[in-house]
Amino acid sequence: MKEIVPIVIIMITIAFLDGCVTPMGMTSSSTPLHNQTIVENLGQAEGNDWSWSLLGLWSVGRPDMDKAINEAIASKNGDALINVRWYEKNYYFVLFSVTKVIVTGQVIKTIPAEAKEQIKQKR
């Protein structure tokens, strides 16, 4: 019996630490940038959203990609994300699991292309 206890503890630890990351996709921008001019790159940012399920059968919500994108943009007070990548990360526990969507990218500030032309003409 004493030999089984360490094995059970190791198995429970592995079950709690078990998880995986799955790359889901990438795109050049979170929003169309036609007729827009990038005026500033505010740097790398990350946003996420998550949901959980009970026994792998009953899901409570779904991770919202738009919430994750908006969180990343808001973290730098920007207008859009460029070089966007998103991942899904799953954490598995004994009775439930957590699914998390992570979005990363460069946050930028933009102005309408017409506004840039007007600024050039005033100079």
Residue-wise pLDDT tens for the chain (123 aa)? 667 777 777 766 666 566 677 778 888 888 888 888 889 999 999 999 999 999 877 888 889 999 999 999 999 999 999 999 999 998 887 788 899 999 999 999 998 877 766 666 665
DSSP labels for 33-68? -TTEEEEEEEEEEEEEEEEEEETTTEEE----HHHH
Q: Report yes or no on 8 lying in a domain.
A: yes
Q: What is the CATH number of the domain that holds 82?
A: 3.30.110
Q: Report yes or no on 118 lying in a domain.
A: no
Q: Report yes or no on 121 lying in a domain.
A: no
Q: What is the pLDDT of residue 96?
A: 87
Contact present, 110 and 80 (Cβ < 8 Å): yes
Q: How many domains does the chain have?
A: 1
Domain that holds residue 35: 4-113
Q: Report yes or no on 16 lying in a domain.
A: yes
Count of other CB atoms within 10 angstroms of residue 54:
11
Q: Report yes or no on 122 lying in a domain.
A: no
Q: Report yes or no on 10 lying in a domain.
A: yes
Reported pTM: 0.75
Q: Report yes or no on 120 lying in a domain.
A: no
